[in-house]
Amino acid sequence: MTRVVYIEYSGNRIEADVAAGLSVMEGARVNNVAGIEAECGGSCSCSTCHVYVDPAWIDRLPAKLPMEEDILELAHEPDPALSRLSCQIEISDDLDGLTVRIPARQG
């Protein structure tokens, strides 16, 4: 299991164990993290799983694909450097300790 730190907009910090192969979004849903709506269920067709990746982790993630870039334009207050769709970040052992912040609201 990989430890993912979710910081809800309220400041509540949830440290959750997420199985490799799941997405950050799926880990949030399983662990009842507030603020990740995931309306499309992870198909990269909405922006309701938008998160801000901690700067220490952003360069460790695979690059955004063009589809993710396009969908992020629909997100509420996207940050060009830190915004990602949590459905597009697949958990692996290399991401142990990954920290993401959830925005005030979703797209």
Number of domains in the chain: 1
pLDDT tens digit at each of 107 positions of the chain:
999 999 999 999 999 999 999 999 999 999 999 999 999 989 999 999 999 999 999 999 999 999 999 999 999 999 999 999 999 999 999 999 999 999 999 97
Let me know the angle formed at the C-alpha of 61 by 57 and 63, rounded to the nearest 5 degrees: 130
User: Does residue 71 sit within a domain?
Assistant: yes
Q: What are phi and psi of 66, to 5 degrees?
A: -55, -35
The per-residue DSSP string of 38-92 comes to: -TTSSSSSSSTTEEEE-HHHHTTSPPPPHHHHHHHTTSSS--TTTEEEGGG-B--
pLDDT value, residue 4: 98
> What residues have CB less than 8 Å from 32, skipping those under 6 apart?
none
In the numeric block, the tokens 């199985």 are attached to 19
Is the CB of residue 103 less than 8 Å from the CB of residue 75?
A: yes
Q: Which domain holds residue 55?
A: 2-101
User: Does residue 106 sit within a domain?
Assistant: no
User: Does residue 59 sit within a domain?
Assistant: yes
pLDDT value, residue 107: 74
User: Does residue 107 sit within a domain?
Assistant: no
- The CATH number given to whatever domain includes residue 67 is 3.10.20.30
pTM for the structure as a whole: 0.95
